[in-house]
Amino acid sequence: MGMSLDGTTAEQDNNVNIELAQKTGKVMNTPARLQKALAKYNLKSRVSPSRLNMVASTIDLSSVHVDVEYVGTIGVGNPPQLFQMDFDTGSADIWIPHIGCAHCGKHPLFDPSESSTFIQDTNQTWGLRYGDGSGVQGIIGRDTVHLGELSHPNQVLGLVQGESVDLAMDPELDGIFGLAYAPLAFTGQKQSIVEGMRDSGMIPAAKVGVYLGRARDGGKGELSFGKANPDHYEGELVDVPVTKKKFWQVSLNGLKVDGEETLSKPIDAIIDTGTTLIILPSELAESIHATIPGSKFSSMYGWRMPCELKASAAGETKVVFTLGEHEFALKASELVRERAAPSDDGEEKLCYSGIAEAKTPMIIMGDTFLRSFYSVYDFDRDVVSFAPAKP
C-alpha cells in the first residue's frame, strides 16, 4: 500500500504519473533565463550580466509568449507536507525549505517534528552554489517522499536553511527535484530516487518519462515514473546512449541548418529539463540565426528574431540536431519566445530567441528542444529516448 498526497492509502500501481504545470504570473524574461542557465553551469556569454539584470528588472512578459518552467507537487514526511518542485534532469539533489530558514520568502517550510518518519542521523551540512553566487545551504535528513500514489521511504533530502534572494522570491517554485545521476549530487546520496524506487519494487524500471506541454495548449505536462506514457508521443522511441553518467550527457554528432551541416566535430550535449533555452557555443548560435532573416544579436538582449516567424515561410526553416545516430528537427518558428523591449533604434517587432550562446565546450538542450520531443531518462540502460511529442 502507498500513501497519497492527501494522506489516504491507495493500491500501488507499477508506475506513477505526476502532472506538471507551467508557472504563471510575472516570470523571468529570456535574458534573465539565460543568466540563470549560465550560472548553473558556470558559463559566460557575450551578453553583459549587468545588462541582463537591468533587462530583467524592467520588462514584463506577455501572456502570449509565456516563460516555460514546469512544476509539480510532491509530499515529504508522514503525514505529507506538500511542495511545488522543479523536476530537473540537470541536477541530482532533492531539496526543500526547512523550518529553520529565516529568509525563504513565502515558501512552505518543512517541519521535521511534524513527520513521524523523519531521520536525521548526522549533523552533516551541505551547500550548492552557482557561479553568480546564488544557491542554497542547509542540513541533510531522510524522510518519505510521496509521488502521486507511491511513497518512497528513507530518501536523502537537502533541507534548506538559507537560500539566495532569487530563489526565495520565486512565488511558485519551492524546491528542486534532481533526476540526474548520483555522482552529481551534493547531499551525498549513493543512487537516484528513481533507482531506489526500482530496487524496492515500487516501479518496474528505473526510468522517467517527461512531457512538457505547450503554452498554447494550456501548458500542462506530465512526469511518469517507471515507464513511458505513449499517450504523449507519436511513433517509436529511439535511444541515444549516455556518454558520461553524471548529467544526462549524450553526443551531438551533427547540426544542420536549412540543410547545411555546421558542426565540424562531435560535441557533448546535456539534456536538461531544468533549463529553458538551448545554449550553444557562439559560432553555432550565429550559424543558426544567420539563416533566419531579420535575426539580430546585441550585448543588451542577446539573440532576437522576428516575432512574425510563426506566420511566415522563413518559420519553416529546419534546425536539425543529430543526437547519437538520430536526427531531431525543429522549425525556426518553434524558437520564437516572448517579445523583446524596443531597442534604441526603435525596433518593436523582435522576439527573443529560444537559442542562446555562451563560451562553452558543450551544449545544453533545454525546454525549447524538449517541448517538441517526449523524453525518457533510463538509468537501467543508460540511454535517453526520444519521440515526437503529441500536440
Catalytic machinery residues: 88, 272
Dist. CA 318–CA 257, nearest whole Å? 6
Dist. CA 269–CA 282, nearest whole Å? 15
Dist. CA 272–CA 134, nearest whole Å? 19
- Torsion over CA: 157, 277, 195, 376 (sign): positive
Q: At what angle do helices 49-58 and 30-41 cross, to 10 degrees?
A: 140
The C-alpha cell at 122 is 548526522
**Ramachandran class of 298: left when φ > 0, alpha when ψ lies in -120 to 50, beta otherwise:** beta
Please report where in the chains the cell 524558437 appears, as a residue.
335
Dist. CA 334–CA 318, nearest whole Å? 10
C-alpha distance from residue 388 to each of 159, 274, 290, 315, 376 (Å): 37, 20, 26, 19, 12
